[in-house]
Amino acid sequence: MIRTKTFALKLLFVFGLQGTLFALLQSTTVAQTVRSIEAGMPVRVFILAGQSNMEGAGVVSSGAKPRNEGNGTLDFLVNKSEVRKDYQQLIKSDGSWIVRNDVWIWYLGKKGNLTVGYGSKSDRIGPEFQFGNVIGNAIDEPVLLIKVAWGGKSLAKDFRPPSSGGEVGSCYSEMLKHIDSVMSNLSTDFPELAKREAILSGFGWHQGWNDGCSKEQTAEYETNLVNFIKDVRKELDTPKLPFVIANSGFAGWDQKVDRRLHIIKAQSDAAKRPEFSGNVKCIETRDFYRGEDVSPSRQRYHWNGNAETYCLIGESMATAMIQLIK
């Protein structure tokens, strides 16, 4: 079990004198890249976990030979898309990407201030990019994202929680070890955050592909997800830790495969459990799907590598998280 007392881990539901929650910004894409952080403020910690779509396949730049003229890349989104005005704050005046001075990230050993490149590759983004930007704008305190995600992993096996019976998943155990390690070594990994109290403030989950490949795993997904939430909260000693699920809508509203639709329903139904009222939300992602004709790749299961999609998922997860925290 995570020994939360060793690193002063706490959960606060009402942000007090040092935890004022700003009103949700009208434009969630605006990013404040430089702002002063008061000494003594605690660090708000958010966990982001899942499989490859939490890792993130959003393409940053299309390179010398762009597919679809670069459509769907982050570079295209901020410079050429119809919604580029909403994303201008993601780039500096010299055209380089923002680097937050108030949001940090740890992703399986890679760590630093939040910017692009914390996806599955150094030229990719996942939900963490806009999640961190929106959360960073919404609260006064410095923010730390701990991202723990591996491609090709199931909830039924790899992330299997103890309450589901059978062998506890290796990724479940590894996830908790990473959270414990980062929280315990905060001042070493992030000297800027030394001597600040770390407050675990939320958990984001984006996963579902692998379980949807098996009828058996599909059938038990809701039960496993409910157990996962409860067990994680128990291990982290945070009984009502705000939990946001981004559903597995990677094929959009054209998805017709029964197993895939069942996973989506299971994710929604889990969030609707009475015991989760007011502290768990499931967001709908199918509206964010972009077709192959306007995307960098043809991998539907990876949202066709569309950076706008990953930005929208991150924004929606953050917006839902802020609502739960309030």
Task: Please report where in the chains the tokens 């739960």 appear, as a residue.
Answer: 324
Beta strands in the chain (DSSP E): 43-50, 58-59, 103-107, 110-113, 124-125, 143-149, 198-206, 243-246, 280-283
Would 20 be classed as within a structural domain? yes
Would 244 be classed as within a structural domain? yes
Q: Which CATH number is 50's domain given? A: 3.40.50.1110
Query: What would the pLDDT profile of 107-153 be if each residue is shown by its tens digit?
Result: 999 999 999 999 999 999 999 999 999 999 999 999 999 999 999 99
Domain residues for 270? 4-57+100-291+311-325
Q: What is the pLDDT of residue 38?
A: 72
What is the token pair recorded at 184?
């315990």
56: left (phi over 0), alpha (psi -120 to 50) or beta: left
Query: What would the pLDDT profile of 59-70 be if each residue is shown by its tens digit?
Result: 999 876 788 989
Would 16 be classed as within a structural domain? yes
Would 79 be classed as within a structural domain? no
* Mean pLDDT, the chain, whole residue set: 90
Query: What would the pLDDT profile of 7-53 be if each residue is shown by its tens digit?
Result: 334 334 333 333 433 333 333 334 444 455 677 899 999 999 999 99
Average pLDDT over residues 90-102: 95
Query: What would the pLDDT profile of 204-214 be if each residue is shown by its tens digit?
Result: 999 999 999 99
Q: Angle 38-178-2 (CA atoms, 0-180°, nearest 5)?
A: 90
CA dihedral of 184, 185, 187, 193, whole degrees rounded to 10: -60
Q: What is the pLDDT of residue 22?
A: 37
* Strand (E) or helix (H) holding 227: helix 221-235
Would 94 be classed as within a structural domain? no
Would 299 be classed as within a structural domain? no
Query: What would the pLDDT profile of 264-291 be if each residue is shown by its tens digit?
Result: 999 999 999 999 999 999 999 999 999 9
Q: Is the confidence at residue 320, as pLDDT, over 80?
A: yes
**In angstroms, rounded to a whole number, what is the distance separating the alpha carbons of residues 155 and 229?**
11
Whole-prediction pTM: 0.90
Q: What is the pLDDT of residue 26?
A: 35
Average pLDDT over residues 67-87: 95
Number of domains in the chain: 1
Q: What is the pLDDT of residue 36?
A: 58
Q: What is the pLDDT of residue 66?
A: 82
